[in-house]
Amino acid sequence: MSDLHTLGVAQLSALLQNKDIGAVELATRMLARLGGNPHNAFLSVDSEVTLAQAKAADARIATGDTSPLLGVPIAHKDIFVTADFPTTAGSRILEGYRSPFNATVVQRMGEAGMVTLGKLSCDEFAMGSANENVAVPSAKPQAVTNPWDVSRIPGGSSGGSAAAVAACLTPAATGTDTGGSIRQPAAFCGITGIKPTYGRASRYGMVAFASSLDQAGPMARNAEDCALLLSAMCSPDLDRDSTSLDVKAEDFSRDLNKPLKGLRVGVPHEFFADGLASDVRGPINTALENLKSQGATLVSIALPRTSLSIPVYYIIAPAEASSNLSRFDGVKFGHRAKDFTDLADMYEKTRTEGFGDEVKRRIMIGSYVLSHGYYDAYYLQAQKIRRMIADDFQEAFKQCDVIAGPVAPTVAWKLGDKSDDPLANYLADIFTLPASLAGLPGMSIPVGFGEGHMPVGMQLIGNYLQEAKLLNVAHQFQLATEFHLKTPGGAA
């Protein structure tokens, strides 16, 4: 079993249930691969904690517990608070922070018997599209590298999660998606990831970036795995999260094997305009043809306000973030400046030292658009267009069952290429932002390779609560293709 690390969640579960391997042995093997922190994917590990969890999983298996995730390793984006590992959210301001409680998502995966390998790197407070904004460890923060080409970014903000799965450091990872932060790194790293409908997964214990957009989701090697993970992740958290949807917990694997005959796939022409690189366009079109060959119909649809989603998102998200980040003031937890003259100075120094440039930039934008006198022109206007974008999707869904298109206009770019140009980063989010604003579920699946043999991902967007359908389409595509089975050369 020398290729254990390349196996997916379902496959590992089968081995564990069959007692071909024990959870402790599996965890030990995975931990061994983390030496040297390949791709700078991890921010913290603790083998004692991991092995204790593995031991508990083995005990459950021994009693005949057949839960599908029991004993399978997972790693959590450092946006989720954990009682047993530090949580930094990628920021100096939380360096060394130990949460007294676990995020609900972490708790659910733990209850399912998964074994935590550690916490994964991410852009600071989930703000970024390249994982270059990670600011910890403060002595020497390291950008995460793309396992397919270490001179390139893995995507963000769940870059550590995507890289870890792609490099076979973990079969599963949690990520969060506010404007595309699961879908885009999944696409750039050639793995599968899904952002469920807003409100499906509990936000309790997710360090908040933009409350009306943040959503947790699984990242793994294939749709089948994502379905298993999503089912464990997504039960209502009515007692702790007021935005958690009160809907019955679902088995998201139930429709995986439905044939695609009769499926109407909407293709938004705005997603295929000039901005889309030809090396991305090619694999996407081929993938669409594949769906067609399986019995789906392609329908041309319009999402006319696609480009407006950029200013709308970059008004709303920073506005909410500027408020959410006010609690980082050096009073109750986290970093506090060493030298200061008075309270005002303490606040200023603490936050200026503790936050990175992109975070500060977004806080400033947020404060501006919420300012007295500007609220109507910016924030309110953005929320109105947001509704129009959501309505556009509903119009589109009258003609189709799922929407398909690119995740990003290009493949992963080189480290440092866009780090001085925040605006360029924002513009590259154009295809993922609309679904975020509307709160719709969205997936990314690998569909080929582009320039530099970098992975290309295709996005699938469904109507509210339609995750099972998205996973079905993805699974059927993956049964007919092999892109999801490819691993980067450097993954051995």
Partner 1 sequence: MSALLVHGYEVVIGFETHAQLSTQSKIFSRASTAFGAEPNTQACAVDLALPGTLPVMNKGAVERAIQLGLALGSHIAERSIFARKNYFYPDLPKGYQISQFEIPVVQGGVVSFFMEEGKATVHKTVRLVRAHLEEDAGKSLHEDFIAQTGIDLNRAGTPLLEIVTEPDMRSSAEAVAYAKELHKIVTWIGICDGNMQEGSFRCDANVSVRKPGAPLGTRREIKNLNSFKFMQQAIDYEVRWQIEQIEDGHAIQQATVLFNPDTGETRAMRTKEDAADYRYFPDPDLPPLVIGRDWVERVRSEMAELPRVMAERFVTQYGLPEYDATQLTQSKAMAAYFEATAKACGQAKLASNWIMGDVSRRLNSGEVAFETLPVSAAQLAALIGRINDNTISNNAARQVFDALWSEGGANVDDATADATRVDAIIDAKGLKQMNDSGELEKIIDEVLAANPKNVEEFKAGNAKALNGLVGPIMKASKGKANPAQVNELLLKKLG
Partner 2 sequence: MSLTPADIQRLALLSRLSFDTPASQRLLEGLNNFFAIVEEMRKVDTSGVVPMAHPIDAMPYLADHAPSAPEGMALRLRDDVVSEDNQRETNQRSAPAVERGLFLVPKVIE
Among 151, 293, 352, 399, binds partner 2 (CB under 8 A): 352
What the block records as the tokens of 233 is 């992740």
List contacts with partner 1 (CB under 8 A).
Answer: 80-81, 87, 89, 94, 97, 99-101, 103, 203-208, 210-212, 239-243, 319-320, 322-323, 325-329, 331-333, 343, 347, 367, 370-372, 375, 379
Q: What is the closest distance, in whole angstroms, from the C-beta atom of residue 282 to partner 1 in the complex? A: 39
248: Cβ contacts below 8 Å, ≥ 6 apart: none
Closer to partner 1 by CB, 104 or 476: give it: 104
- Binding residue count for partner 2, defined by CB under 8 A: 74
Distances (CA, A) of 142 to 123, 160, 185, 476: 11, 11, 17, 38
Binding at 103: pick from partner 2, partner 1, none (beta carbon under 5-8 Å per type): partner 1
Beta carbon of residue 234, minimum distance to partner 1 (angstroms, whole number) = 17
Which of these, 124, 139, 137, lies nearest to 178 by C-alpha position?
Answer: 124
Among candidate residues 129, 181, 419, 436, the one labeled active-site is 181
Which residue, 174, 169, 165, 166, is CA-closest to 194?
Answer: 174
- Determine whether 157 is an active site residue: yes
Distance, C-alpha 239 to centroid of its chain:
25
Structure tokens at 254: 């139930």
Q: At closest approach, how far in Å is the CB of 240 from partner 1? A: 6
Q: Of 19 and 384, which CB lies nearer to partner 2 in the complex structure? A: 384
CA–CA gap between residue 190 and residue 488 (Å, rounded): 9
| Listed residue (447, 317, 436) closest to 369, CA to CA | 317
**DSSP code per residue over 373-423:** TTTIIIIIHHHHHHHHHHHHHHHHTTT-SEEEEESSSSS--BTTSSTT-HH
Rounded distance, CA 198 to CA 158, Å?
17
Which listed option, partner 2, partner 1, none, makes contact with residue 375 (CB within 5 to 8 Å by class)? Answer: partner 1
Applying CB under 8 A, the span of 7-15, 92-100, 169-177, 397-405 interacting with partner 2 comes to: 92-100
Can you tell me the distance from the alpha carbon of 325 to that of 87, in angstroms, rounded to the nearest whole number? Answer: 15
Q: Does 113 bind partner 2 (CB under 8 A)?
A: no
- Chain-centre distance for alpha carbon 113: 21
What is the DSSP secondary structure assignment for residue 105, as one 8-state letter?
Answer: H
- x/- site string to partner 2, residues 379 to 418, per CB under 8 A? -xxxxxxxxx-xx--x------------------------
- Indicate whether 134 belongs to the interface with partner 2 (CB under 8 A): no
Kindly report each contact of residues 240-244 with a partner whose C-beta sits within 8 Å and lies 24 or more positions away, as own/partner. Answer: 240/104, 240/202, 240/204, 241/104, 241/202, 241/203, 241/204, 243/198, 243/199, 243/203, 243/211, 243/212, 244/199, 244/202, 244/203, 244/204
Judged by beta carbon distances under 5 to 8 A according to partner kind, the member of partner 1, partner 2, none in contact with residue 437 is: partner 2
Residues 310-329 that bind partner 2 (CB under 8 A): 310-312, 314-315, 322, 329
Which lies closer to partner 1 via its Cβ, residue 49 or residue 207? 207
Does 348 interact with partner 2 (rule: CB under 8 A)? Answer: yes
Is residue 361 near partner 2 by the rule CB under 8 A? yes
Near partner 2 in 439-468, by CB under 8 A: 439, 464-465
Do the Cβ atoms of 412 and 152 come closer than 8 Å? yes
Nearest Cα neighbor of 134 from 158, 112, 110, 118 is 158
Residue 76 interacts with which of partner 1, partner 2, none, CB < 5 to 8 Å by class: none
| 378 touching partner 2, by CB under 8 A | yes
Write down the catalytic residue from 157, 244, 419, 444: 157
319 binds, among partner 2, partner 1, none (CB under 5 to 8 A by kind): partner 1
Q: Is 364 in the site for partner 2 (CB under 8 A)?
A: yes
Max distance between CA atoms of the chain, in angstroms, equals 70
Strands 402-406 and 264-268 come out as: parallel
Indicate which of partner 2, partner 1, none lies near residue 142 (CB less than 5 to 8 Å, by partner kind): none
Q: Is 77 a catalytic residue?
A: yes
Out of 282, 298, 340, 486, the only residue in the binding site for partner 2 (CB under 8 A) is 340
Active site residues: 77, 157, 181
